[in-house]
């Protein structure tokens, strides 16, 4: 009876929603959370090196990293010159730590499998230092981020975020 009443309160015709109504929350020993981030970063010198086998391998590596660190990747796309990852992470990791983990581990794994890439990049650095992060909030919903990422692969000359280019 109490569960039915709680579900009824979630219905839009009642005029309001419970905060986490219908939302899946995750739990750790000391936290209940729903933290999702849209992350974008580029390879060093924004080189167009993330295609074909490298792109597919990076997706596999990101999934393995997510499993190891208890992240959950909702959507991701590896473009020739940048990466989009929509990820959920436990609160023990700051967004900067999530990016650092994804970039450092993927760099090591990609150089191990594709040693010739190291020669294309000076000093053996794979990723550029910067990144973009946005949390899902009131105005930017998870649905909007998913559609944006999925749209990237279908639009060859899309209006890409120009966050890494100097004006």
Exactly one of 33, 57, 69, 148 is catalytic; name it. Answer: 148
CATH code for the domain defined by 26-152:
3.30.70.1290
d(CA 16, CA 139) in angstroms, rounded, equals: 18
Distance CA 134, CA 140 (A): 9
What is the reported pTM? 0.76
The values of phi and psi at residue 11, to 5°, are: -70, 135
State pLDDT tens for residues 63-121: 999 999 999 999 999 999 999 999 999 999 999 999 999 999 999 999 999 999 988 88
pLDDT digits (tens, 9 = 90+) for 122-153: 777 999 999 999 998 656 677 888 888 887 77
* Per-residue CA distances from 40 to 23, 32, 81 (Å): 25, 26, 11
Q: How far is CA 164 from CA 11, 42, 79, 132, 142, in A?
A: 43, 8, 15, 9, 23
What are the structural domain ranges in the chain?
26-152
Instruction: Find out whether 88 and 145 touch, Cβ atoms under 8 Å.
Output: no
> 148 catalytic, yes or no?
yes
């Amino acid at each position: 009876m109490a569960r039915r009443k709680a579900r009824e309160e979630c219905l839009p015709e009642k005029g309001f929603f419970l905060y986490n109504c219908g939302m899946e929350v995750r739990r750790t020993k000391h936290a209940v959370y729903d933290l999702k981030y849209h992350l974008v970063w580029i390879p060093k010198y924004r080189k167009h090196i993330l295609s074909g086998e490298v792109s597919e391998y990076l997706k596999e590596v990101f999934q393995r990293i997510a499993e190891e660190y208890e992240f959950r990747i909702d959507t991701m796309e590896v473009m020739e010159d940048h990466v989009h990852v929509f990820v959920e992470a436990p609160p023990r990791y700051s967004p900067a730590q999530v990016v650092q983990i994804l970039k450092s581990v993927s760099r090591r794994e990609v150089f191990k499998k594709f040693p010739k890439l190291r020669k294309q990049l000076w000093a053996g650095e794979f990723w550029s230092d910067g990144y973009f992060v946005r949390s899902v909030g009131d105005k930017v919903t998870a649905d909007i981020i998913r559609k944006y990422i999925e749209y990237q692969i279908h639009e060859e000359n899309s209006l890409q975020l120009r966050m890494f280019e100097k004006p």
